[in-house]
Each structure stands twice: as C-alpha cells, then as structure tokens.
Structure 1
Amino acid sequence: MPPNQPTPGTGPATGTDPVFAAAARLREAAATRTPAAPVRDLIGRDDVATAYAVQRHLTAERIAAGARVVGRKIGLTSTAVQQQLGVDQPDFGVLFDDMAYPDGASVPAGTVLQPRVEAEIAFVLGADLAEGPLDDAQVRDAIDHAVAAIEICGSRVADWDISFADTVADNASAGAYVLGSRRLPLTGFDPVTAEMTMTVDGETVSTGTGAACLGDPVTAVAWLARTARDLGDPLRAGQVVLSGALGPMRPVTPGAAVHATVTGLGTVSVTFSAKGAR
C-alpha cells in the first residue's frame, strides 16, 4: 500500500471489519438500487482515513469487474453545498467510464439513485500531476482545456442522510456526468469569473460563479492533485476532473430536463427518462 495511504481495519473480511462492513452495505444498495442506512454507525462520522479506505475498497472491486477509471470528481467545494450537507471541507471520488453521458443525452430512471444535479467546470488534463509543488500555476499549465459540465450526484444512503464520512465512503456521492461540447484552453477562459445558470424544466434553480468553488476551480484541482499524490494515485494526463459545484445542487425526477450555461464555455444539457436504467 502506498505511503500515507490509510489502511483498512484489522478485523477479518467477514463483515466485522468496519471497512468491509461499510463497503458491503453500499455495494448492496448499488446492486439492488435500494438506498441503505448511513455507514457512519460502522466507521464514525468524521473518520476520514477509514471513509477513504471504504471508497478505495469499492473502487478496487469495480476495477476488478472491468470498470475503467477516467478521472476524479471534487465535491463539497461550494459553501452553499457544504451548508446543504452540513460539512466544512472538500472531498473527492472516482469517475468511471460508464458514468459519462454525451451532451443532450437521456439518462434512464434508476441509473443514479436519488439523483441531484449541479453545474460546474470540468477540466481535462494534458499532463500528469504526479511531481513538483502541484500548486495553482503547475496545475494551470497541466490543464489541456475546460468544458461546461453537469454532474449527476447520487447517494446510496437513504434520504441523503449523510455525514462527511458517509459521502466519502460512497465515492463522494458520484453518479454520472455530462460534458458540454465547447472546449477552451485556460489562455482563453477565466474560471474564476465564469457565471453559471442552471435550469430544471425551464425554471432557474441554481446560479453561481467560479469563485464559489474554493475561490478558484483551479485551486480545487490543485487540492485534489496534492491529495491524490499523497494517497499514491496521482492525476494523469487525459483524465477528466469535475472541479466542484458553482452553486447549490438540486434534486431531479424522471422526465426532468436540465440545462446549464457557463459563460465562455457555452451550454450543456441532460434529460431524465422514465425508462429503466441501462
């Protein structure tokens, strides 16, 4: 196991170990598409190391089953979202290949449990972020382009009754994501001053700016780059990074149409069908 990477508990892999027990609960919820009780009774509300150990355990299972990691998502970067969920620090999760949908796609009902949407800026890396200071300047140079994005958050925890540890263990409540079609290098786009508007069925439900994401979405990516390297799994060229919400996330129901605009990056949209998951 890489240096500085928290280790699972010491119990046997029979459900008595809190990491394995929490992973089993979340795995069952995902498999049955039935939200489960929070896992904080197993791992504690604020035990960050154990929560990420659960996330890594479930990630390893998905990779072993054939899933491919295509990037990361940063969560809880917006003060508004932190207030919604009662937390005060960012987290991150893993993006898998089957989470990506094209702009304008229809996401079948049930694909994401208890879906909520948020608009943000995504970055695609043109270089690895594995060495060096991993400060804002280095991260900015490593970004190939920015693109508008809608993240479809989902929780395997019933009623979104989550503590910080619950959402970390549950892959930072990752569900799916949609990228817009317009790609801009940072030489032609300022993430901090970008303004976002998101509508659901034509009604404006969320607004914000790039400054809502840790003051600068690039700063959020730098935080992730350092954290990922410290955990032994640095960001790599070609990966997508969802940098965090620019405003409050909102729930959606089957039939909903979501449209987001980010100044400079254009629009991105997704609908939710009433038909079953793919």
Structure 2
Amino acid sequence: MKIATYNVNGVNGRLAVLLRWLDETRPDIVCLQELKAPDERFPESAIAEAGYAAIWHGQKSWNGVAILSRVGAPVETRRGLPGDPLDLHSRYIEAAVAGLLVGGLYLPNGNPRPGPKFDYKLAWFERLIEHGAELIAAGVPALLIGDFNVMPTERDVYKPERWLDDALFAPEVRNAYFRLLDQGWVDALRTMHPDETIYTFWDYFRNAYARNAGLRIDHVLLSPAIAGRLVGAGVDSHVRGWEKTSDHAPVWIELAPA
C-alpha cells in the first residue's frame, strides 16, 4: 500500500498539478494540506474522476486538510485536533481507511518568533503530543502524516546556521517533535534513508529548487502497530520542478500487506 502526503499550496489553483501527480503515481491514500479553500470549493468532482473518494476540512484562504483514498471511502473519525474548542483553524482531519487510522495534519508555521503565533504553534504541538499518546496507548495501526513545519535535525535543512531564529528550527519545536517520536512513532522517511540529505520543500525565491536549498518539513510517522510493515519511502522531488507547482513535493511511503 502506498500512502502519501502533499502540501498543495492551494488545491484549486494547483489542481492540474495534483491530478497529474495522482495519475502518474497512483497512491492508495493521500493527505493534502493548505487547501486554501472553504468546504464548498473543494474540487470533489475532479478528485472523484481521478478515482478517489475524499473527506476534507476547509477554510477560506488559509489552511485546510483532506484525505483521499482509492482503496475505500475514508470514514471520518475526527475533525480538528482535540484540546482547544476555541481553535477554529482547519489543520487536522482523521479517518479510518483500509484498516488504518490516518491523521492528516498541517502544523502551524509559528513565525515570527517570539510572539503569539509561535506560542500557538507550541500549544498546538502539545495537543498533538497528547493525542498521539492516546493513539499509541490504543495500539491502533495509525499514521500521523502531513506538513509538520519542523526540521528535526541539521541534516534536514540547507545551511542550518541561517535558520537558528526561525520557528521551524527552534529548539522548543524540535524538542516537541522528538517527544512525539519518544512515544513510539517512527519517522518513516528518515528510517528508510538514515544518512541521506532529503528535502520536501524549496522556497520559490533565490532559485532554491535548482540549488537544492531545501527543508525537510513534511513527515510520515508510523505507530508501532504498523512500523514493521514499512518497506519503502521517498520524495517525488521532480514534481517541485513542474510549472505552477507547489513549493512542497509529495512524500510517500509503502507498507507491506498486514
């Protein structure tokens, strides 16, 4: 089974890119981030024509997450991360799909740091850690997958010395990521490629993609119940080079049958 995550940076403006990638790679399950569209403007019919059932949690102009599947309709189990009923950002959606519990997320950017946006990021991460612990305790075959907006190590960022004051590389954020892993979650991409330089995001400015001046901020975390099924993982980095594409590239993993 092939499972992927893709921050599309506007699902309608980049729909042609998304459909081209889906047709080329045919992942079984896909989590999308940064839909930047309200619920009523999600391109459900185009996604269906491509062979995918979908659920989504939209928001006008910002945020937005979705789960697509061509191996059975996703059965939504949660819309929004628990822990703060006043948080109305569309950043988390969870569904049962093909025997898996898939949590698709778009973690806050957090810049500028310090400030209220950074405080919100840390609070959101704490809620994710708490929810992750509940999933681990339940023993379910689960994934936390999406744009985490964190580079865990210096290997995950081009010229790390330039990012020391950024919310994506802040010690508190990196520590939160590893506290999540300490629960038992497995970083699939790094597990399959422990020593490689791998990026998932390249800025539109300063010719970053051509120079491979990127960041690894899109992650797929596997619960212990399915970590042993991991047989492959990678980044479709060529998609970042397509015309009118997102500044992220799709990240994918492959799981052996249960």
**TM exceeds 0.5?**
no
Q: Which has the higher contact order (CA 8 A, sep 6+)?
A: 1
Q: Tell me the TM-score normalized by structure 2.
A: 0.27
Q: Tell me the TM-score normalized by structure 1.
A: 0.26
Q: Larger C-alpha radius of gyration, 1 or 2? A: 1
